[in-house]
Amino acid sequence: MYLLYLDESGTHAGAPAFVLAGMAVHEHDAWHLQQRLDRLVAGRVPKGLDASLFELHAAEMKNPVKNVRGKKIKSIWAEVPVSDRFSLIAATYRSLVGYKSKDTARPTVLFGAVVDGSYPDREQRAYEEVLHKFDEMLTRRARDSGVHERGIVIHDRRVIEGDVQGWTQSWRQVAGRIGKLTHIADVPFFADSRASRLIQAADFVSWGLFRYYGPAQDDKYSKLLWPRFDAVGESMHGLIHVHPGFRGGRCPCPPCASRASS
């Protein structure tokens, strides 16, 4: 079974794009990758502090302030020197993109959708795109290898949980705008990201994409991620950028460029 861990960026009002992204990990690799991330955090947290309390949350590590009920408070990451925080951000990206699956026939791959903020249904579009890309990967693998595996989606907790589960249930029963989901075992499950290093890993994928597609236009981390998205030939199949010029081939970003050339 494959486990797709997802998180979002660009959920705030006025965001130029909504990003839904994460990584699909085979069940045999989930524990090993979590242990790798645990060791990374433990190696940079000051002695005497409980490493399990430090959530891998890229934006909060960069700027250790978080919003709680509309108020900005100091994050626990303020206890860690800035050089160690930035070192850990870079090490986390290297660890995720450099991870080698225990079975090379079942690789760890990334998925994502970046939907322009002008779309009123951007969240639903993003979920439909990502879940279908994941489902298509499972279908493709079943066709090529003869081994049929199901997928489960695990997501950071959100206020729209009911909507997402309703959409997914519908897409599993009746073909939607893209098609019907055939290899996803159940509706997405939502969990507290503080309890799962792999949901935290998904945060790094979505944040890296938002840094590229958002106001910062920074490819420092996204350029590490591009090669790890699920691919079909030369096409970056696992990532889609939905924007007004999508059909016209006017966007030079890597996923759009790969589709234009395939």
Q: What is the pLDDT of residues 195-252, one digit of tens each?
A: 999 999 999 999 999 999 999 999 999 999 999 999 988 789 999 999 987 766 678 9
- Domain borders along the chain are 2-261
Amino acid 175: pLDDT:
67
Which of these CATH numbers, 2.40.50, 3.40.50, 1.10.10, 3.30.420, describes 2-261?
3.30.420
How far from each other are the two terminal CA atoms of the chain, in whole angstroms? 30
* pLDDT-based confidence at residue 262 (cuts at 50, 70, 90): low
Overall average pLDDT of the 113-122 stretch? 94
Secondary structure letter of residue 216 according to DSSP: T
The pTM is what?
0.93
Distance between CA atoms of residues 150 and 261, nearest Å: 31
Strand partners, 235: 232
12 pLDDT above the threshold of 90: no
CA distances from 201 to 8, 71, 149, 243, 244 (A): 11, 26, 23, 26, 30
Classify residue 259 as left (phi > 0), alpha (psi -120 to 50) or beta.
alpha
pLDDT at position 249 is 67
